[in-house]
C-alpha cells in the first residue's frame, strides 16, 4: 500500500467527489490534511468522512475560492502555518459549466469556467511550488480530464481549461524537477461523481438515468469509474513511491480515450 505517513497533503475541491475520496484515502495511509473548498458544508462532510475511516487523523479546513489568488495565498499560508510544510498537493477544484455548442457558449460562462479550472490551478501551482522549492521536495497532482486530451463536444470552457491544465502540468514539471518536485496530472473519464451526475441531467433533464446508461455504453468496461479508483492513483502520485514519475498525464477512464 502507498505510504503517506506524516505527509502533509493539501487538497482543493475537497468538499465532494474526487477531493473527498482522496482525503479519505490519504488519511488512511497516514497523511495529515489541509482541506480546501468553497463549500463549508462540503468540507464538514469530508472531515466527518475522514474521521469515520481514520479516527486518529489530523486535518484543518479552509473555505476558499481558488479563482481568487489572495484566497489561494491564504490557504497555502494556513497549511504551512499549521504543519510547517506541504509534501503533496492535489490541485483538484473545478466545475464543468453549462453544456452548449461553441456558437451558443456564453462568453461569461467561458470566463467563469476558465477562472476556476485554469486560473485556479495556476494560482495553486504558483504558491505551492514556491513552498516546495524552498523545502526541496514535493509532489503535485493536477486534475485534468479526458476532456483535456481529446475533444468531447459542447464544453468549450471545460475543454479549453483542461487542455490548459495539461500544459501547465508539463511546463511546471520541466521547471521544477531539479528541485526534488514532481508534477503530474490525472485525466479522469466517466467517474460517477456529483459533477458527472449533473452532466447527465444537462443531457436529459427528464430522464438522466437513461442518459447515464447510454453514455457509458461506449466505454470498454461498460461501467462508470468510482471516485475511490481515482483517489488510489492520486495517492500513489503524491507518494515517494512515484518519485521518478514526472510530467505525466494519467488517463483514468476504463480505456475509453483509446477507443476508435
Kindly list the domain boundaries of the chain, sorted by start residue: 8-189+228-252, 190-224
Q: What does the DSSP assignment read for 157-187? A: HHHHHHHHHHHHHHHHHHHHGGGTEEEEEEE
**Residue 209: predicted pLDDT:** 72
pTM of the model: 0.94
**Residue 193: predicted pLDDT:** 80
Closest CA to 140 of 3, 30, 1, 12: 12
Report whether CATH 3.40.50.720 matches the domain 8-189+228-252.
Answer: yes
Known catalytic residues are 158
**Do 95 and 194 meet the contact criterion of CB atoms below 8 Å apart?**
no
**Residue 240: predicted pLDDT:** 98
Burial (CB count <10 Å: 0-12, 13-18, 19+), residue 201: middle
Specify which residues 89 forms β-bridges with: 10, 140
**Residue 181: predicted pLDDT:** 98
Local mean pLDDT, 10-residue blocks, the chain (260 residues): 93 97 98 98 98 98 98 98 98 94 97 98 99 98 96 94 98 98 96 78 71 84 94 98 98 92
Amino acid at each position: 500500500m502507498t505510504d503517506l505517513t506524516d505527509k502533509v497533503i493539501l487538497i482543493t475541491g475537497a468538499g465532494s467527489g474526487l477531493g473527498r475520496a482522496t482525503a479519505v484515502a490519504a488519511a488512511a495511509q497516514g497523511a495529515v490534511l489541509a482541506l480546501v473548498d468553497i463549500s463549508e458544508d462540503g468540507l464538514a462532510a469530508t472531515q466527518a468522512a475522514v474521521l469515520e475511516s481514520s479516527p486518529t487523523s489530523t486535518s484543518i479546513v479552509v473555505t476558499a475560492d481558488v479563482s481568487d489568488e489572495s484566497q489561494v495565498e491564504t490557504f497555502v499560508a494556513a497549511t504551512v502555518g499549521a504543519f510547517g510544510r506541504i509534501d503533496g498537493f492535489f490541485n483538484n477544484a473545478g466545475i464543468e459549466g453549462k453544456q452548449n455548442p461553441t456558437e451558443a457558449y456564453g462568453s461569461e460562462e467561458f470566463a467563469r469556467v476558465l477562472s476556476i479550472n485554469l486560473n485556479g490551478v495556476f494560482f495553486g501551482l504558483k504558491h505551492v511550488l514556491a513552498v516546495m522549492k524552498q523545502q526541496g521536495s514535493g509532489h503535485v497532482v493536477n486534475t485534468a480530464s479526458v476532456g483535456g486530451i481529446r475533444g468531447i463536444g459542447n464544453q468549450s470552457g471545460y475543454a479549453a481549461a483542461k487542455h490548459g491544465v495539461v500544459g501547465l502540468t508539463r511546463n511546471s514539471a520541466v521547471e521544477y524537477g531539479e528541485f526534488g518536485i514532481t508534477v503530474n496530472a490525472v485525466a479522469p473519464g466517466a467517474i460517477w461523481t456529483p459533477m458527472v451526475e449533473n452532466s447527465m441531467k444537462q443531457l436529459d433533464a427528464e430522464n438522466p438515468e437513461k442518459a447515464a446508461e447510454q453514455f457509458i455504453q461506449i466505454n470498454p468496461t461498460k461501467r462508470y469509474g468510482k471516485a475511490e479508483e481515482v483517489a488510489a492513483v492520486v495517492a500513489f502520485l503524491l507518494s515517494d513511491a512515484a518519485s521518478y514519475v514526472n510530467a505525466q498525464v494519467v488517463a483514468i477512464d476504463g480505456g475509453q480515450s483509446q477507443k476508435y
